[in-house]
Structure 1
Amino acid sequence: MKQLIKEIQSEFQNHFTGNYLLVNSPGRVNLIGEHTDYNEGFVLPAAVDKSIVLAISANDTQTARIYATDKEQLYKADISSEIKKSDKEWPNYLLGVVDQLRKHGYEVGGFDCVFGGNVPIGAGMSSSAALEGGVLFGLAQLYDLEIPPAEMAQIAQKAENEFVGVQCGIMDQFVSLNGKEGYALKLDCRSLEYEFYPFKRDDIRIVLCDTGVRRELASSEYNVRRSQCEKGVSVLQNFDPDIQSLRDVELEFLLAHESDLDETVFRRCKFVVEENKRVLQACNDLDKNDILSFGQRMYQSHAGLRYEYEVSCDELDALVDIAWKIEGVFGCRMMGGGFGGCTINLVKEQNLDHFISEVSEQYLEKLGQKVKIYQMKVAGGTHLIHNSEVSINAQTSS
C-alpha cells in the first residue's frame, strides 16, 4: 500500500501543484446475503484492504482535472453549470458525484485529483463504489460538507445509477464508506440502519477465487429474478396485505402458500426468505466467534444460489466443490450476481498455501483454465491517509 500511495503522490506532483488530501477508499466483499438487497432484506459485507487511493485538492476554478494512473489519462471537465457525461466512461464515476452533490444541495468548486488502486477490476469487489466514495469523501473534506453516513452512500449510489447508468444497489457504496476495521457490517437495505459484528480472526484469511468468467447473461437474468420475486410478493399480498417485500415473509407462511405460487417463483422466494434468515444467524455466529457455523451458512447460501435461485455456473460450482474438500476451509460460496465472477472463501492462515495450490491445480485439471486468487483482510472504510501510514512530502489534513 505504501508503494501505491507514493505513486499517487508522485503523479499528483507531476500534473498539479499545491497541497492535497490523500484518501484511502476500500473495495468490499459480501460475506453472506446475496440477492437480498433489492428485496429490502439484509446483507453482511465488509470493507477490505484493497483500495483506491486518491490525492485531491481544490483548485479555485470551476474545472475538474482528473488523472487516472492505471490508464495514464488526464481528463478536464467544466463543472460551472450542467455537467456533461464523458465518452471515456471512467471520468463519469467522479463527475457523477459532483452532479449528485449539487442535486442534494451541496456546493463544490473545481478540484484536481489523481487516483489509482489495487482493487482487482472485474472481481466483484466494487472498485467503482470505492472510487465514487473516495472522491465524495475527499470533496466533503475539502469543502467542509457535513453529510450523514446514509446520505453519503445514497449520493454515491445515485451517481452510478443516474449519471453512469449502472443500476447497482446501495450495499457497495455503504460499506466502502462506512466499514470498520475488524468488523463486518450488517445493513438493513430497507431502512439503511446498520450494525457492526466482530470479524477479528487474525488466523483467517478472506480469499477470492476468480473464475475469469464474465457473462452478459447476468444482467438480463438479474432482471428476471427481480421480476419473479415481485411476482411472488404480489401473490402473497392476497393472503397478507401487510407484506411489502420478501423481507416481510416468514418461511412457514411461504410454505403454506406453495401451491398458490408458480413452481419457479416459489423457489426464488424460498431462497430469498432463507438467505435473509441466514444473514441474521451469521451475525449471531460472529458474536459468538463461531466461525464453523458461519462457514456452514456460506455453503448453504451457495447451495440455494445454485439450485433454487439458479444463478451459479459450472465454474463457480467447481470452485465450491474443490474448497469443500480442502482442510482449513471454513466456508465458501459464490459472491455477486452470478453466472461467473468469484467465490469467497474463509481459509485458516496456516492452510493458505495448500489451499492456493490445490485450487489452482484442480481447477486447471477440471476446467482447463487458470484461476486468479486474491487474499485480503477486513479493513476500515473510506478515510484520510495520515503521516503514520506513509511518509508524506505534501500536506494532509485531518
Structure 2
Amino acid sequence: MPAQTVATAFQRHFGYAAPLLVRAPGRINLIGEHTDYNLGYVLPAAIDKEIYFAVGLNSGSEIRLVSHDLNDCCTVAVDQLHRTDTQWANYLLGVAAQLQKRGVVLAGFDCVFGGNVPVGAGMSSSAAVECGLAFALDQLLGTHIDKMTLAHVAQKAEHEYAGVMCGLMDQFASLFGRDGQVVRLDCRSLAYAYFPFDTDACRLVLCNSGVKHSLADSEYNKRRQECERGVQLLQQHYPDVKSLRDATLQQLEQHQAEFDEVTYRRCRYVVQENQRVLDACEALQRRDLAAVGRLMHASHAGLRDEYEVSCPELDALEEAARGLPGVYGARMMGGGFGGCTLNLVAPAHVEAFIQTVGQAYQRRFGRPLETYQTSIVAGVSEAEIGELPVVNKTAPAPEDCA
C-alpha cells in the first residue's frame, strides 16, 4: 500500500490540510513463540509488510476512522469511547481509550489506514494497526510518550478492546525494529539486544498456509490459562517461580506426577523454547545459520506436539521444507492454528524452494501456495508524502466509504 494512496484517500474523505503520515511494520518472529506472555524471551524483527496511516486532528469531538482496504468507516464520540461491533475499529478505539486512561486529553481526530500486511498470516497486522495509531496520536498531541510505554498502550488495547490476552512481543517488534537486525526481548525485565541478520545472505521466505486464524476465537487464551495453572502448581514448591520464565526443566520433571499431562506438556514447551531463543542468539553471533535452522525445526516440533497450536497445513509446509537444498530451517510462526511458516533459505535456492514446496502443497491440499519474500526494516516512523491536491469535501458519514 503506497503511502501516497492512503494520504490521497484521507484528502478525499476529509478534505483538509495534509495529515501526518505514519508507517507501521508487521513482524516475523525468528524463534520464541508463546513465550512472551510467560515473561520469557522472544526474537522478532520488523518487516517490509507495512500499514500506512494518515491521521489529522479535526477540531471536533469525534473519532472518524476509515479502513481503506475494507472500504468501511466507523465514527465514535471522543467522550463516549466504547467497543463496537466493527471489529477492525476496536483495535484503533482501544488505543485511544488507553491513552485516555493514562490522562491524555484526546481531541477529535480523523484516520485513514491501509497496507499490505496479510491478515491472519501471523505477521501481526493487529499490532501494526495499534502501534501506528499510538505513534501518530503521540506525535499530533505532543504527549512525548516513550516507545516502551506506547507498546504497552497498544498491548492493553488488544486485551481490552479486541479480547486477545497477547504478550508484548508484537507491539514491541513493530515499534523497536531496526533495519537488518533481529531483537531479543526479555519480556520480564524488558531489556533488549539486537543481533545482525543479513537478509541478502539468507532470505526470509514466508509460506502462507491459507488457513485464516483469529486469536480471539482460537485457543490462544486457553493456552495462557494452562501456563498459569502450571505456575500455580510449581509455586507450591518454589515460591520464587512467578512465571514459567522462572521455571527449569528439572523442577518440572521432579514434580511431573502432580501435573495433568496437558499442563505438563505446555509448560515443558515454554521452558525449552526460552532456551532455544538464547541458543539462537549465540548461533547468530557465530553466523551459524545451520544451527539457527535446527533450533527452528525443534521449535516447530514443540509447537506441534507439546503446545498443540499447529495444524496439518503448517506441518506439511515445515515437512516439505526440511532437507531441501539451501534451506537452513523452517517452523510455523505466530499464535498458531493457521498462518505462515517462516523459512530461512539461501538466496540461490529461493526460486527452487518456492516451486518445490508450492507443488507439494498443491498436490496435498488442492490449492496454490502463496509465498512472500521479506526484508527486515526499521520500526514505526513518520513517512514522507508529496504535495497533495486541495479537496473541498465535508467529512463522510460512517457509511460513506466510496
Normalised TM-score (structure 1)? 0.91
Does structure 1 conserve the Cα–Cα contact (< 8 Å) formed by 2:23 and 2:383?
yes
Structure 1 residue 342 displacement after superposition: 1.6
Correspondence 1:158 to 2:147: no
1:91 aligned counterpart, secondary structure: helix
Does structure 1 conserve the Cα–Cα contact (< 8 Å) formed by 2:37 and 2:166?
no
CA shift in 2, pair 1:298/1:168, >3 Å: same
From 368, 373, 378, give the equivalent of 2:371. 373
Letter in 1 for 2:52: V
CA shift in 2, pair 1:216/1:23, >3 Å: closer
Does structure 1 conserve the Cα–Cα contact (< 8 Å) formed by 2:32 and 2:43?
yes
Does structure 2 conserve the Cα–Cα contact (< 8 Å) formed by 1:119 and 1:125?
yes
Rounded to whole Å, the distance in 2 between the matches of 1:223 and 1:252 is 27
Structure 1 residue 147 displacement after superposition: 0.8
1:32 aligned counterpart, secondary structure: coil
Rounded to whole Å, the distance in 2 between the matches of 1:193 and 1:218 is 28
| Bigger shift: residues 261-270 or 212-221 | 212-221
Correspondence 1:26 to 2:25: yes
Does structure 1 conserve the Cα–Cα contact (< 8 Å) formed by 2:74 and 2:86?
no
Aligned to 2:77: 78
CA shift in 2, pair 1:171/1:148, >3 Å: same
Aligned to 2:292: 294
Structure 1 residue 343 displacement after superposition: 0.9
Matches within 5 A, 1:267-306: 267-306=265-304
Aligned to 1:168: 166
Structure 1 residue 31 displacement after superposition: 1.1
Correspondence 1:319 to 2:317: yes
2:361 aligned counterpart, secondary structure: helix
Structure 1 residue 113 displacement after superposition: 1.7
Rounded to whole Å, the distance in 2 between the matches of 1:8 and 1:41 is 37
Instruction: Say what the alpha-carbon RMSD is for the aligned residues.
Output: 2.1
| Bigger shift: residues 24-33 or 83-92 | 83-92
Aligned to 1:130: 128
Correspondence 1:106 to 2:104: yes
Unaligned 5+ runs, structure 1: none
Letter in 1 for 2:236: N
Aligned to 2:119: 121
Matches within 5 A, 1:9-24: 9-15=7-13, 16-24=15-23
Does structure 2 conserve the Cα–Cα contact (< 8 Å) formed by 1:57 and 1:112?
yes
CA shift in 2, pair 1:229/1:88, >3 Å: closer
Letter in 2 for 1:173: Q
Does structure 1 conserve the Cα–Cα contact (< 8 Å) formed by 2:165 and 2:221?
no
Unaligned 5+ runs, structure 2: 391-402
Structure 1 residue 377 displacement after superposition: 0.9
**1:46-105 deviation per Cα after TM superposition (whole angstroms, max 9, x unaligned):** 1100100011122222222222211223433321x1213333222222222111111011
Does structure 1 conserve the Cα–Cα contact (< 8 Å) formed by 2:67 and 2:73?
yes
Aligned to 1:206: 204
**1:277-310 deviation per Cα after TM superposition (whole angstroms, max 9, x unaligned):** 0011111222222221111110110111122222
Rounded to whole Å, the distance in 2 between the matches of 1:306 and 1:88 is 33
Does structure 2 conserve the Cα–Cα contact (< 8 Å) formed by 1:19 and 1:394?
no
Rounded to whole Å, the distance in 2 between the matches of 1:175 and 1:326 is 30
Aligned to 1:48: 47
Percent of aligned positions that are identical: 49
**1:107-165 deviation per Cα after TM superposition (whole angstroms, max 9, x unaligned):** 23112222110101111111111111111111111111111222111111111211233
Aligned to 2:188: 190
Aligned to 2:220: 222
Structure 1 residue 219 displacement after superposition: 4.6
- Residue-pair matches, total: 389
Rounded to whole Å, the distance in 2 between the matches of 1:349 and 1:181 is 19
Does structure 2 conserve the Cα–Cα contact (< 8 Å) formed by 1:203 and 1:350?
no
Structure 1 residue 218 displacement after superposition: 8.7
Structure 1 residue 253 displacement after superposition: 3.1
Aligned to 1:249: 247
Normalised TM-score (structure 2)? 0.90
| Bigger shift: residues 21-30 or 224-233 | 224-233
Does structure 2 conserve the Cα–Cα contact (< 8 Å) formed by 1:12 and 1:113?
yes
| Bigger shift: residues 335-344 or 154-163 | 335-344
Structure 1 residue 318 displacement after superposition: 0.9
Rounded to whole Å, the distance in 2 between the matches of 1:74 and 1:216 is 21
Rounded to whole Å, the distance in 2 between the matches of 1:263 and 1:86 is 39
1:225 aligned counterpart, secondary structure: helix
Aligned to 1:344: 342
Rounded to whole Å, the distance in 2 between the matches of 1:376 and 1:10 is 26
Structure 1 residue 203 displacement after superposition: 2.4
Rounded to whole Å, the distance in 2 between the matches of 1:66 and 1:219 is 24
Correspondence 1:37 to 2:36: yes
